[in-house]
Amino acid sequence: MEFWMGPWWIFVILFAIGLIIWAIRRQSRKRAQEMAAAGSQLGLASGAAQKTFLKSLSKKKTHLFSRGSGRKIRLWLEGKYQGLDVRYFDYQYTFGGLHAAITYVQGVAAFAVPNQPLPVFQLRPATSVEKLASKLGYPTLKFNSHASFTSTYLLQGPEETSIRMLFLPPLLDFFQNLPESKWSVESSGEWLFVYAHASLPGGAGLAAFLDEASRIARAVLQART
């Protein structure tokens, strides 16, 4: 008891905090090296986190990039993948305050939209609460021809007509037939983002993540032609 009543406990706490910070930074450096190596094998170059990229996205009020606080891009890979111009990054944001904060880190694949921009939209798996809210009038686009799609996903955007012209039966079929309804897709017009909430691929899983993200992005991009 006398030990914890003296000044030593302050040094113990500070040492523990320093040790935690060191471990986090060490793990971050290790991940950066692993992802850079994995990206290099896929033809992607690593680079510094792009603050200007994130700042421009925050202004567009996309769902993902306007959530929470403390938004950061932690890692950056870029290049051509399966014929698509892609950026991969670790994206971090925080919900809550000092005493009850939850920080999420997830992988995001961003695909440059060639030629004409896409309509701005967000497509994500609907939670049970959102499914109930949808029945009570929560704004989401519904498709009577694809009941399974409507019950599985939440589709929103400011230009309903343009979105419906994109989400014609072939694209609705594609999403309706995905084996896992974990993927979210957002368009800022010039960029198409594909991600799974709180999913963070490791170096060994980067290729599989980009394979599936590219397949989804290609389906959306081809739907407008």
pTM of the model: 0.84
Residues shown for the chain: 225
Distance set, CA 184 to CA 175, 197, 215, 222 (Å)? 10, 7, 13, 18
Q: Is residue 10 situated within a structural domain?
A: no
Tell me how far apart the alpha carbons of residues 105 and 199 are, in angstroms, rounded to a whole number: 8
Q: In percent, how much of the chain has pLDDT > 70?
A: 79
Q: Is residue 203 situated within a structural domain?
A: yes
**Which of the two residues, 181 and 209, has the higher pLDDT score?**
209
pLDDT digits (tens, 9 = 90+) for 124-171: 998 766 655 555 455 689 899 998 998 899 999 999 999 999 999 999
Whether 159 contacts 119, CB under 8 Å: yes
Of the pLDDT bands very low, low, confident and very high (cuts 50, 70, 90), residue 173 is very high
pLDDT digits (tens, 9 = 90+) for 109-128: 999 999 899 999 999 998 76
**Which of the two residues, 6 and 162, has the higher pLDDT score?**
162
Whether 166 contacts 174, CB under 8 Å: no
**Which of the two residues, 32 and 132, has the higher pLDDT score?**
32
What is the gyration radius of the CA atoms in the chain, in angstroms? Answer: 21
Q: How many domains does the chain have?
A: 1
Q: Is residue 15 situated within a structural domain?
A: no
pLDDT value of residue 85: 97
**Which of the two residues, 68 and 5, has the higher pLDDT score?**
68
Structural domain for 180, as ranges:
47-223
pLDDT value of residue 128: 65
Q: In percent, how much of the chain has pLDDT > 90?
A: 50
pLDDT digits (tens, 9 = 90+) for 57-81: 777 668 888 888 888 888 899 999 9
Q: Is residue 33 situated within a structural domain?
A: no
**Which of the two residues, 1 and 85, has the higher pLDDT score?**
85
Q: Is residue 25 situated within a structural domain?
A: no
What totals of helices (H) and strands (E) does the chain contain, helices first?
A: 8, 8
3-state DSSP call for residue 182? coil
For residue 169 the two structure tokens come to 């039966």
Of the pLDDT bands very low, low, confident and very high (cuts 50, 70, 90), residue 15 is very low
pLDDT at 16 over 90: no
Q: Is residue 5 situated within a structural domain?
A: no
Exposed, middle or buried: residue 130 (CB in 10 Å: 0-12, 13-18, 19+)?
A: middle
Distance set, CA 64 to CA 71, 94, 132, 136, 197 (Å)? 10, 12, 22, 24, 10
Q: Is residue 117 situated within a structural domain?
A: yes
Q: Is residue 22 situated within a structural domain?
A: no
3-state DSSP call for residue 224? coil
pLDDT digits (tens, 9 = 90+) for 38-63: 999 999 998 877 778 887 777 766 88
**Torsion sign across C-alpha atoms 47, 81, 183, 142:** positive
